[in-house]
Structure formats: structure tokens, C-alpha cells
Amino acid sequence: MNPPDVPAPDQNADGDAGDAPAEPFADVDLAGATVSTDEPLAPKTWLRVGGPAQHFAEPTDRNQLQALVKRCAETDTTCRLLGGGSNLLVRDEGVSGLVIRLPKEHWSELTIDAEAGTATVDCGAPLSHLVAETVKAGLAGLETLVGIPGTVGGALHGNSGGRHADVGSVCDSVEVMTRSGEIVTRTRDELSFGYRRSSLDELCLLRATFALKSADPDDLADRARKTWILKKSSQPLSHQSAGCVFMNPRGQSAGDLIERAGLKGTRVGGAEVSDRHGNFIVTGEGAQSADVLRLIDLCRDTVRQRTGVELETELRIW
């Protein structure tokens, strides 16, 4: 088998660490933020594989976040945002620079204005919390996103969604922090959302407002329940995975292409193409990130040889 392709760098990382000092966060005022070193990332992702972050921080407020981001800019240190880790594969060698996670205890404030039909939420909040609360308040637009793990920030960054809707279709504005630490608001007319992509490529999504429609809460709960049942019956939700590995090529299903290529159940080391859904890779005991990368390449190569279709990864790779 060929060695794994090196996927294009994630657009959410701000380039190579370059000449970053070895201890960019020592003896500087970070507004009270603490930075750990060699922090294991595997337990913070759904695939549970991969190496550590060179530096890791969980800022509790905007001042701390800004201090960290500005320090990265000053020292040319790579900075990445980790959400719920449900669409992410970290390489075995880990990642250089700083990884920031917005802890949900401090970044989950949600305000619903049922009359205006809006919900405004911090981007560290679990998407499931936003979905549940808007359904309860009788606001329609997010109910079919039930069962998608991760945070509001991760969902907006990759415009997560399903057959019926995606998160971008009801997003009205997003407050973001740029790589230089500036806070700006991106309004609807500046935003564009496509299939599993958004124009939100700023370093950190902070807070988002959604414009929703008034509806009967029982009808919404019923729609959410039906979507959840369908999802549970077709996806290996009880296994370690990162959702769909590949994007669906126009008019086709990546899962079907993988299944028709006879790849369901194929294993490399501790990673396996799910026998439930061809577009899910699940990891088990002893799995390494390299196993997942080899399996991704095997699927991509086999589908290309059999059908001529080039599969593109939906999964982010650090």
C-alpha cells in the first residue's frame, strides 16, 4: 500500500510554527489563562487516537482568549481551535503550537427571544443544547440537527447538517476573533455557507445568532425524534468515529461508493470501515492515527480505481 497522502493543511490552523520560541507562554501576562504542555488530545476527540498538543489552553473568558491569541500572533506560534473533536483526526506525532478549547462551563450562554424568533449562543456550547432549547421554545430551523455531536463553533465552521437542513441556513450573524485578536461581527450578507463549508475561516467563532421561525414545540420534538431514530438506525453511533469521513460527491453518496467497492468491514490495524455505514471509520483497542490515515487512502484509491470518482475528506486532519 502507498504511504498515506499528506492532506492539505486545515484552513483553521494559521500556518507553520516557523521561528516560534520554545516557551512562548512562559513569564508573560495572559490575563490569568494557564497553558499546559504536551497535553494529550486523543481523549478530547471522538476517534480517540493521535498525539499531544505542544501547548494547550482553556480560556475562561474573552480577555484570556485574546491574550493567548495575541501572544501567538506576536511569537509566530501556530494556533488552532478545538471544538468537541467530533470531526477531527489528530496525527500520531501530535500538533505543534497552541491548541485552544472553549470549555463549555464558560462558553455556553444561550439567550432565546421567542417573540423575535432568535437564539444567541456562545460557540463553545454543545450543538445538542442549542437544538434542545430551541425545540422547547417552539423555534423551528435547528430541530433536524439532532444527534450531531460537537459544539456550535465546530458546526458553523464546517456548516454541519443533514438531509433536511444545515446550521448555516438559519445563521444570522457570528461574532469572531481574528488571528490578531480583534473581535468583529460577520453579518448574514458577509457569510456564505455551502455543503460542509463556510466562509467563517477566522481563528475563533465566539457567539452566533440564529433566526428561527415560530412553530409548535410538540411538532418540532416529533420531527427531531424521527430524525434521531433514522440516524441511529443507519450510523454506528455507539462506536468511536468522527462521523462521515468523506464528502458526498455531487449527486452521489460516498458511503454507497465505498460499500459498492466492497470496503465495508475492511480493517487496517485498529481502524475499520464500519459495516453499518461505508462512510464511517471506527476505531478500537490499540488503534493509531496512522491506521485511520491508511484506511482513508485505501478507500480513496479503491473508489477512484473502480469508479473514477475522487473522494474528498470531510474529516479535518491535524
Ligand X SMILES: Cc1cc2nc3c(=O)[nH]c(=O)nc-3n(C[C@H](O)[C@H](O)[C@H](O)COP(=O)(O)OP(=O)(O)OC[C@H]3O[C@@H](n4cnc5c(N)ncnc54)[C@H](O)[C@@H]3O)c2cc1C
Active site residues: 196, 244, 314
Other Cβ atoms within 10 Å of 250 Cβ, number = 7
Distance, CA of 97 to CA of 67 (rounded, Å): 15
Q: Which is nearer to ligand X, 226 or 306 (CB)?
A: 226
What secondary structure does DSSP assign to 5-26, as a single string? P-PPPPTTS-S--TT--S-TTT
Binders of ligand X among 184-213, rule CB under 6 A? Answer: 204-205
Q: Does 7 bind ligand X (CB under 6 A)?
A: no
Do 79 and 283 touch, CB atoms closer than 8 A? Answer: no
HSE of 207, CA atoms in CB hemisphere, 13 A: 17
The least CB distance from residue 12 to ligand X, in Å, is: 4
Binders of ligand X among 110-169, rule CB under 6 A? Answer: 123, 148-151, 153-155, 157-158, 160-162
Give start and end residues of each alpha helix (H) in the chain. 62-75, 127-136, 152-157, 217-234, 254-260, 289-307
HSE of 300, CA atoms in CB hemisphere, 13 A: 20
Do 270 and 285 touch, CB atoms closer than 8 A? Answer: yes
Q: Which is nearer to ligand X, 138 or 157 (CB)?
A: 157
* Residue from the set 4, 24, 46, 294 that interacts with ligand X by CB under 6 A: 46
Task: Kindly indicate which of the ranges 32-40, 112-120, 236-244, 264-272 contains the residues binding ligand X, using the contact rule CB under 6 A.
Answer: 236-244
* Residue from the set 83, 117, 141, 168 that interacts with ligand X by CB under 6 A: 83
Distance, CA of 296 to CA of 2 (rounded, Å): 12
Size of the site for ligand X (CB under 6 A): 34
Task: Kindly indicate which of the ranges 25-33, 217-225, 234-242, 303-311 contains the residues binding ligand X, using the contact rule CB under 6 A.
Answer: 234-242
Q: Which is nearer to ligand X, 118 or 235 (CB)?
A: 235
Backbone angles phi, psi at 308, to 5 degrees: 80, 0
Q: Which is nearer to ligand X, 138 or 193 (CB)?
A: 193
Q: Where does this chain bind ligand X (CB under 6 A)?
A: 10, 12, 46, 80-88, 102, 123, 148-151, 153-155, 157-158, 160-162, 204-205, 235, 237, 241-243, 316
